[in-house]
Amino acid sequence: MVRTAKSAPYLGNVGFCHTPAGDAALKALAAQLDPQHEAREIALANIPMVNAVTLPGGRIILFDGLVQQAKSPDEVAGVLGHELGHVRHRDTMTGLIRQLGLSVVLGGAGGNAGGYLNGVLSLSYGRGAESAADGVAIDRMREARISPAATAAFFERLGGQEGEGTETQAMTWLSSHPLSAARRRRFAAAVKPGASYRPALDRAEWQALRTSCASDPKVAKFWGKAF
């Protein structure tokens, strides 16, 4: 069953955001996109980067910067669906083993997911893995009746930053999930004319998710100290 990291409110210096309404909204989003509970954990972290990561063991962390940049819950749904694709295909573990070596990955975990964030952010899964993860996202959104049009628009906005230099790219989803016009077109093409779509979250749920970090008094404000 998907949890929202209540049992571990912090990963190193990373604060997880919790409010009753925000947690309920995140669970509602997870229930639509991950009905089989393939992800072990889905959490929202108080990190002002436009990013989301999948950690070993099926843990997905959405960054608050991503939620704030998104124009609608459908955009977040597309990113979450993509990360669920990495969970299904175990891309993160494969990438970490390739990058760090099996002994380091298995011996250095220590139950501290925060220690993996820097390594995971620098991973490059490869075109095949990214394409497969996109396919999972599109399938999950179709099954949940969430339009992929918003995700295509989100990628279009982020893609406009590709030429603005390394510093900008490091603070976006582009750093670990390289975008391309072809990928954006794929999501746009997945929109079915005449299909009956529904918002990933209603207005109240979306507002609760967007204000979760700002409303959680236990979450310290910081800028990426874990990195």
Of the listed ranges 41-55, 133-147, 202-216, the least confidently predicted one is: 41-55
pLDDT digits (tens, 9 = 90+) for 74-106: 999 999 999 999 888 675 554 544 444 434 444
pLDDT digits (tens, 9 = 90+) for 112-160: 444 555 555 555 566 677 888 899 999 999 999 999 999 999 988 877 5
Q: Give a three-class secondary structure readout of 20-33.
A: HHHHHHHHHHHHHH
Q: Are the C-beta atoms of residues 13 and 45 closer than 8 Å to each other?
A: no
Tokens coding 206: 């979306």
- Span 162-170, average pLDDT: 42
Residue 132 pLDDT? 87
- The pLDDT mean for the chain works out to 77
Of 166 and 110, the structure prediction assigns the larger pLDDT to 110
Quick one: pLDDT band at residue 21, thresholds 50, 70, 90? very high
d(CA 73, CA 38): 21
Residue 179 pLDDT? 67
Residue 76 pLDDT? 97
Residue 101 pLDDT? 46
Q: Beta partners for 52?
A: 62
Residue 103 pLDDT? 43
d(CA 197, CA 202): 13
- Span 194-203, average pLDDT: 96
Residue 135 pLDDT? 93
According to the per-residue pLDDT averaged within each range, which of 22-26, 87-91, 159-163 is highest?
22-26
